[in-house]
């Protein structure tokens, strides 16, 4: 269970997050949506101790973010940041392999190697395994980083816009994989999405953020309404219901 209590965050005196409290129980896919600048990445980064916490408290099971050992947290929770460094000349296999680093700390076992191969296979990276990251296309690179996060094999997965640069097939495959992790392995996924239709199709729960606050929370079909789209995103995209699911007409 991830528990966020009264989390507030300022950057250079400007309020970015305002008094956020939310509990994400173990298992399930939670989508985090909201307009640009709403604070989604900041919230995720705080959960993953990428930026120091200012006010409030975050726990992941019994681990307190910012107090517990980094090595323990790295085996419990993994994050895929929104922007990743691209200029590195690591091969895809090396990069994905570093996802196992929290476990082997420099001495990979055959099990670690097998997981890396498995991760590359799942994300269609085997043909690119020996390619250097700086020669990949944007979507191929994104897939490599997703695979690295995947092989970290943590109970909690935080993904910040993982569908960036991915084509339709890769996007659907990734979402299906996350769904499978949640349903069959009791993994907990929190994922920032901009495409509401992906959120309603694959998530159990949608958290909506705007201007640093949580403004809606619930099952996709309850939360995603035309009124919400209008008030949160300030655009009047019509909504249709297809097979019981709200679909935004873009």
Q: Give the binding site for another protein (CB under 8 A).
A: 45, 48-50, 70-75, 78-79, 81, 84-85, 87-91, 94-95, 98-99, 101-102, 105-106, 132, 149, 152
Task: Give the count of alpha carbons within 13 A of 27, CB side only.
Answer: 4
Which of 41, 154, 164, 171 touches ligand ATP by CB under 6 A?
A: 41
Q: Name the H helices within the chain.
A: 40-47, 70-76, 92-98, 101-104, 110-122, 138-151, 168-185, 196-202, 220-223, 226-228
Q: Which stretch binds ligand ATP (CB under 6 A): 34-42, 69-77, 150-158, 216-224?
A: 34-42
Q: Would the CA dihedral through 81, 216, 220, 228 be positive or negative?
A: negative
Is 209 in contact with 19 (CB distance < 8 Å)?
Answer: no
Which of 10, 21, 25, 37 touches ligand ATP by CB under 6 A?
A: 37
- Judged by beta carbon, residue 34 or residue 102, the one nearer another protein is 102
C-alpha distances in Å from residue 218, one per residue of 93, 179, 200, 239: 39, 17, 11, 18
Residue 45 as a binder of Mg ion (CB under 5 A): the answer is no
Shortest CB 158 distance to ligand ATP, Å: 12
What phi-psi label fits residue 86: left (phi over 0), alpha (psi between -120 and 50 degrees) or beta? alpha
- Judged by beta carbon, residue 99 or residue 246, the one nearer another protein is 99
Residue 38 as a binder of ligand ATP (CB under 6 A): the answer is yes
C-alpha distances in Å from residue 80, one per residue of 84, 170, 250: 8, 16, 27
Pairwise CA distance, residues 228 & 3, whole Å: 25
Q: Which of residues 57-96 bind ligand ATP (CB under 6 A)?
A: 82
- Judged by beta carbon, residue 82 or residue 165, the one nearer Mg ion is 82
Residue 50 as a binder of ligand ATP (CB under 6 A): the answer is no
- Judged by beta carbon, residue 8 or residue 82, the one nearer Mg ion is 82
Pairwise CA distance, residues 86 & 88, whole Å: 6
Pairwise CA distance, residues 80 & 157, whole Å: 8
Shortest CB 170 distance to ligand ATP, Å: 20
Residue 11 as a binder of ligand ATP (CB under 6 A): the answer is yes
Shortest CB 162 distance to another protein, Å: 14
Pairwise CA distance, residues 157 & 154, whole Å: 7
Residue 39 as a binder of ligand ATP (CB under 6 A): the answer is yes
Q: Which stretch binds Mg ion (CB under 5 A): 59-67, 77-85, 144-152, 208-216?
A: 77-85
| From the list ligand ATP, Mg ion, another protein, none, partner contacted by residue 39 (C-beta under 5 to 8 A by kind) | ligand ATP
Shortest CB 242 distance to another protein, Å: 37
């Amino acid at each position: 269970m991830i528990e966020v209590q009264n989390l507030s965050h300022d950057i250079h005196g400007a309020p970015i997050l305002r008094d956020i409290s939310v509990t994400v129980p173990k298992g399930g896919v939670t989508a985090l949506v909201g307009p640009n600048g709403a604070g989604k990445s900041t919230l995720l980064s705080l959960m993953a101790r990428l930026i120091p916490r200012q006010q409030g408290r975050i726990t992941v099971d019994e681990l307190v973010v910012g107090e517990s050992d980094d090595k323990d947290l790295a085996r419990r929770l993994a994050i895929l940041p929104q922007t990743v460094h691209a200029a590195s000349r690591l091969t895809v296999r090396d990069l994905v392999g570093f996802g196992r680093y929290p476990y082997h700390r420099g001495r990979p076992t055959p099990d670690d190697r097998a997981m890396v191969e498995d991760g590359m296979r799942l994300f269609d990276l085997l043909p690119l395994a020996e390619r250097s990251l700086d020669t990949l296309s944007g979507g191929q690179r994104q897939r490599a980083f997703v695979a690295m996060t995947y092989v970290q094999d943590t109970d909690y997965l935080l993904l910040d816009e993982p569908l960036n640069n991915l084509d339709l097939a890769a996007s659907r495959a990734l979402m299906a994989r996350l769904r499978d992790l949640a349903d069959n392995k009791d993994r907990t996924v929190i994922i920032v999405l901009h495409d509401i239709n992906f959120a309603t199709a694959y998530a159990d729960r949608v958290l909506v953020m705007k201007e640093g606050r949580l403004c809606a929370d619930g099952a996709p079909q309850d939360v995603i309404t035309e009124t919400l789209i209008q008030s949160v995103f300030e655009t009047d995209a019509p909504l249709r219901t297809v097979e019981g699911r709200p679909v935004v007409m873009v």
